[in-house]
Structure 1
Amino acid sequence: MNSNDLSSTVLVVDDTPENLSLMSDLLREHYRVKVATNGERALRIAGAAEAPDLIMLDVMMPEMDGYEVCRRLKADENTKNIPVIFLTARTDPEDEKIGLELGAVDYITKPISPPLVQARVRNHLLLKSHADFLRDKAEWLESEVQSRTRDIQRIKDVTINAMASLAETRDNETGNHIRRTQNYVKALAQHLSRHDKYASFLDRETIDLLYQSAPLHDIGKVGIPDRILLKPGRHTPEEFEIMKTHATLGAEAIMVAEKVLDETETSFLRYAREIAQNHHEKWDGSGYPAGLKGEEIPLSGRLMAVADVYDALISKRIYKPAFSHDKAVSMIREGRGTHFDPDIVDAFLEIEVRFSEIAREFADEEDT
C-alpha cells in the first residue's frame, strides 16, 4: 500500500461539522476520506468489510467519547490493528497518557497544524503497511509450518503402519493382537499420566507416540525362520532361544531406520525401538534379552509387557486355550513386583474393565 495515494482510507470522527469539513479538505487530496459524527457510527464503519486504514478520533464527543470508541476498537479482533490518532483540544499530559495506553498511535492537539497532521497521517499509514505485510508474512509462515507438521506426521504414521503391517504378515496367529495391545498401552499410559510420578513424562504427544509405536513390538519376528515362528506347537529349548532373538532383531531393525533419518535419541521411532527391545524384560531381572531389572527397563517396555502378556493370556493359541478375563487379571496380579512393574499392575487393576472392552472391540473373528 502506498501511504500517500487514494488507495488509503482515513476515517475522521468528530461531532462538530466544521472540524469534519476541515479535516476532510486537508486529507481528501491524498486519501479517500470517510466521516462519522458519533462513536456508534464510527464503530460500524470501522467494522465494515472495507475497513479504514487509519482513524482520526475526537476525544470529546457526547454519548460515547473517543476513549470509549478506541477501547472498543482495540477489543475487537477485526478492528484492533487499525491505527488511531486522537484529535483533542485537551493539552493535559495525563489525557495523552490515557489515549496512548488505550492503544492509540498518536495524539494531536487542536488547533491543528496542517503540515503536522499530513506528516503524521502519512507516517502512520506507512507504518501500518509495513505491519500488515509482516503480519501477513507471519500468518503465511505459520500456515506453512502447520502444513509441514501435518506432512511430517503423515510420514510418521505411514512409516510405522508399513513396518507394523510387515510384522503382522509374519505371524498369522495374532489376528488383531497389535490393535488390541496398542490400545491397552494407550489406556495404561493415560491412566498413569494422572499420577504425579508419571505426569511430566506421559504428556499427550508421548502417549500418542507410544500408541503408534506399540504395533512394532514384534517386528523382529520377520527375522525368525518360518520353521520356528510358524511351528504348530511348543518350541524346544533351542528353538525358544532363537525365538527370543526377535526382541533384539526388532530393535536393531528400527535403529537402522533411525540412522537413515540421522536421528536416534530424538527419533519418533525411539519408543518403538524401546518397546521392541524391552517388552520381554521382567521387573525382577529374569527377562530377556538383557536381563534388565526394575526401572532399568524403559517405561515403554514395562507398559508393553503388561499389554502383551494380558493379550496372550486371553487369546487362543495352538499350544493353549484362551483364558478368561478374570483368570488373566489374576495372573497379572500374581506377577506384580516379579514379572511386572508394580505401578503398572496397579494401574491395570484399576482399569481392567477397559482392557476387557478393548478385547471385545478388537476380537479375532474366531472369537466373535
Structure 2
Amino acid sequence: MIPETRSAAEAATILIVDDMPQNLLLLGELLQPHYHVRAASSGERALRVARGDPRPDLVLLDVMMPGMDGHAVLRELRADPATRDLPVIFVTALDDAADEEQGLSLGAVDYITKPITPPVALARIRTHLELAQARRRLAAQNECLEGEVQRRMAETRLIQELCIRALACLSETRDKETGRHIIRTQAYVGILARHLAGHPRFAEALAGRRLEMVVQAAPLHDIGKVGIPDAILRKPGRLTPEEMAVMKTHAAIGAHAIGAAMEQALAEADDLTVEQAEGALAFLRTAQEIALAHHEKWDGSGYPKGLAGEAIPVSARLMALADVFDALMTRRVYKPSLGIEETTRVITEGRGVHFDPDVVDAYLACREAFLAVAQRMPDAPEAAAVA
C-alpha cells in the first residue's frame, strides 16, 4: 500500500518568520482561515520551530531580520536533512532582481514582495503546498516501488540459491560426501573471498558483484560428478589409478554441462534478452570456471588442463583450498579426520605448490573462522560411517 499524504486543503501548517509584529499579525489574519499558522520573530526561533513537532509544511520567511537574516535561516534549513525539502517562500520589501536571484539560488521556491496582494499570496502559497504534496506522494510511491523491487530481487536471489543448492545436492546424492560439504565449502570460499577482496592481486577479480557470484557458485564445483559411474563414485575405499582417471573427468564434465546450458539459452534468446541476462551469464561463467579449475594446482601439476599460477582463475584457487580443507577435516571409512593442526600443516606445505601462496596466507589469518564453520556443521555420524 502507498501511504496517503495529507491534502494541501486539509489545513496545512505554515510558519511565518518576521521580526515585525504587525507583519506577523497581518499574515496570520490572512492565512488562519485556511491553514494552521505558527509564528517566529527571529531566525533562531524559526529554526527551532521548523525542526520541532509538528513540522511546518511551508515557511514564509522575511529576508531582512536582525541577527540571523532570512538567507542565513534558509542555508541552515537546507543543510539539515530534516528540513532540507521544506518549501520556503521569501516575503520581503526588497524588490531588486539580484536579491530575488540570490534567494532563489539558495533554494527558495518563490519570492513575494511587500506590500503583499492577498489573493496573489494565497494562490502562490496554495500552489507550493500542492507541489510539496505531490513531491511527498511521489516520494512515497518511489519508496513503495523500491521496496517492491527489493522484495522481488530478494525472491529471485532465493530462487537462484535454491536452484543452485538443488543442482549441487543432486550430485551429492550420488557421492560419498554429504550435503554439508556443500555448505561448509561455500562458507570457506566466502571467508577467503572477503578477506582477500582488498588485496591488490585479488581486488579486481572480487570487485562488486563478482565476490557474491564466486560464493554463490561454489556449491556447483562438483556438479560434474553426476557423470561419474556409481561403481567409482560410491566405492567405499580408495580408487585405483584407472578409477581415479575416470573420477578426474568430473571437472570437465561439470564445465561442459554449464557451458552447454549457456549455449542453449543464448541460442533461443534475442539480443535484448541476452543483454538483460548478462548478470546470470556472468554467474554461470563463474560457476563454469570453478567446476573446471578447482583441481588445478599452483605449480601446474593439477587437472584437467595443468594450469599454473595466475592462469588459474581466482575463484578456482579459493575453491581448491576450501575443498582440500574440508576433505582433510572430514572423517571417511578409509581415513580419519586429520584435525585442525594437521590440516593446517598440510595446507601450509602446499603453499606455492598446490595453492596460491596468498590464499594460504588468507587461510592462516582466518583459520579460526574455518574451524568455527567445521565445528558448527559437522557431518552426521551415520553419514561419515557409511561414506
Same fold (TM over 0.5): yes
- 1:226 paired to 2:225: no
- CA distance 1:141–1:2, change in 2 (3 Å): closer
Corresponding residue for residue 216 of structure 1 = 220
Which residue of 2 is the match for residue 196 of structure 1? Answer: 200
- Structure 2 partner of 1:164: 168
Normalised by the length of structure 2, the TM-score is 0.79
Distance 1:151-1:354 versus aligned 2 partners, 3 A rule: closer
Distance 1:243 1:108 in 2: 83
8 Å CA contact 2:78, 2:85 repeated in 1: yes
- Work out whether 1:83 is the aligned partner of 2:87: yes
**1:178 to 1:54, Cα distance in 2 relative to 1, 3 A:** same
* TM-fit CA distance, 1:279: 0.8
Q: Is it true that 1:206 corresponds to 2:221 in the alignment?
A: no
Residue 166 of structure 1, CA deviation? 2.1
| 1:301 and 2:316 aligned | yes
Equivalent runs, 1:250-329 vs 2, <5 Å? 250-255=254-259, 258=262, 260=265, 263=277, 266-329=281-344
Q: 1:353 to 1:148 in 2, by over 3 A?
A: closer
Structure 1 pair 114–350 and aligned structure 2 pair: CA distance change class (3 A): closer
Going from structure 1 to structure 2, the CA distance change for 1:23 and 1:288 (only over 3 Å counts) comes to same
Q: 1:119 to 1:260 in 2, by over 3 A?
A: same
Displacement of 1:151: 1.8
Contact 1:181 1:304 in 2 (8 A): yes
1:151-190 equivalences under 5 Å are 151-174=155-178, 176-190=180-194
- Unpaired stretches in structure 2, ≥5 consecutive residues: 267-273
Deviation at 1:98, TM superposition (A): 5.2
1:1-368 equivalences in 2 (<5 Å): 10-27=14-31, 31-39=34-42, 42=46, 46=50, 51-61=55-65, 65-91=69-95, 96=100, 99-114=103-118, 116-174=120-178, 176-203=180-207, 205-255=209-259, 258=262, 260=265, 263=277, 266-366=281-381
Deviations 1:44-101 (A, max 9, x none): 6645666544321223456765445434433444433221111123456665455434
- Partners of 2:38 and 2:364 in 1: how far apart? 71
Work out the CA distance in 1 between the residues paired with 2:10 and 2:336: 84
**Contact preservation (8 Å) 1:59, 1:65:** yes
TM-fit CA distance, 1:146? 1.8
Q: Which segment is superposed worse, 296-305 or 96-105? A: 96-105
Distance in 1, Cα, partners of 2:136 & 2:365: 55
Offset of 1:353 from its aligned partner?
A: 4.5
CA 1:202–1:6 in 2, change beyond 3 Å: closer, same or farther? closer
Matched residue of 2:201: which SS? Answer: helix
Letter in 1 for 2:296: E
More displaced 10-residue stretch of structure 1: 168-177 or 141-150: 168-177
- Whether contact under 8 Å (1:251, 1:274) holds in the other structure is yes
- Opposite residue 140 of structure 1, the aligned amino acid is C
User: How far, CA to CA, are the matches of 2:328 and 2:351 in structure 1?
Assistant: 16
- Which is worse superposed, 260-269 or 337-346? 260-269
The alignment partner of 1:338 has SS state of: coil
Q: Distance in 1 between matches of 2:152 and 2:339?
A: 46
SS of alignment partner, residue 198 of structure 1? coil
User: 2:248 is aligned with what amino acid?
Assistant: K
Give deviations 1:9-38, integer Å, cap 9, x for gaps: 544333434323433454567x42514143
Q: 1:28 to 1:175 in 2, by over 3 A?
A: closer
User: Contact between 1:220 and 1:276, CA under 8 Å: does it hold in 2?
Assistant: yes
Q: In 2, distance between residues paired with 1:360 and 1:9?
A: 61
SS class of match (1:55): strand
* 1:118-138 C-alpha deviation (Å, 9 max, x unpaired): 453354345434433433333
Q: Comparing 248-257 with 213-222, which one deviates more in the overlay?
A: 248-257
Indicate conservation of the 8 Å contact 1:302/1:340, yes or no: yes
How far has the Cα of 1:109 moved from its partner? 2.8
Deviation for aligned residue 1:231? 1.0
What RMSD in Å do the two structures reach over aligned CA positions?
3.5
Distance across 1 between alignment mates of 2:141 and 2:366: 48
Query: Any idea what the Cα deviations from partners look like across 1:151-206, whole Å, max 9, x if unmatched?
Result: 22212222222222223222244463223322222222222223222123324643
Structure 1 CA distance, aligned partners of 2:204 and 2:324?
Answer: 27
CA distance in 2, matches of 1:313, 1:3: 68
**How many corresponding residue pairs?**
366
Deviations 1:199-255 (A, max 9, x none): 233246433333332222112222222111111222233322221222122223334
Offset at residue 365 of structure 1 (A):
4.2
Given that 1:20 and 1:35 are in contact with CA atoms closer than 8 Å, whether structure 2 keeps it comes out as: no
Query: In structure 2, do the counterparts of structure 1 residues 167 and 38 end up closer, same or farther at CA, with 3 Å as the change threshold?
Result: farther
Paired AA for residue 360 in structure 2? V
* Counterpart secondary structure, 1:197: coil
Contact 1:16 1:37 in 2 (8 A): no
| One-letter amino acid of the structure 1 residue matched with residue 74 of structure 2 | C
**Equivalents in 1 of 2:278, 2:138: separation in Å?**
37
